[in-house]
Amino acid sequence: MPHMNGFESCQKMLAIDIDVKVCFMSSGKINREALRNIYPAISVGCFISKPVTIDYLVK
């Protein structure tokens, strides 16, 4: 996504529909507290760290 990151995209989706369920996936470490400070409107309930196995995704 050359013009916005996943968190900015999430903010735009939530502005349209507050009931959208979002799950973030990244290969990097995420500091959830810092993320809340930068994007206070986003509630990150689902965050998957890569690499991930199919079995983990099914669970």
Confidence of residue 5 (pLDDT cuts 50, 70, 90): confident
**Confidence (pTM):** 0.60
Beta-bridged to residue 19, according to DSSP, are none
Q: Tell me, what's the pLDDT at 44?
A: 66
Taking the domains of the chain in order of start, what are their residue ranges?
A: 6-58
> What mean pLDDT comes out for the span 6-14?
85
Report which of residues 45 and 47 the model is more confident about: 47
Helix (H) or strand (E) holding 56, with range, is: helix 54-58
Per cent of the chain over pLDDT 70 is 93
Q: Strand, coil or helix: what is 7?
A: helix
Closest to 29 (Cα-Cα) out of 47, 44, 46 = 47
Q: Strand, coil or helix: what is 21?
A: coil
Average pLDDT, the chain: 81
Q: Tell me, what's the pLDDT at 24?
A: 82
Look up tokens 């959208």; give the residue: 20
Closest to 22 (Cα-Cα) out of 31, 35, 13 = 13
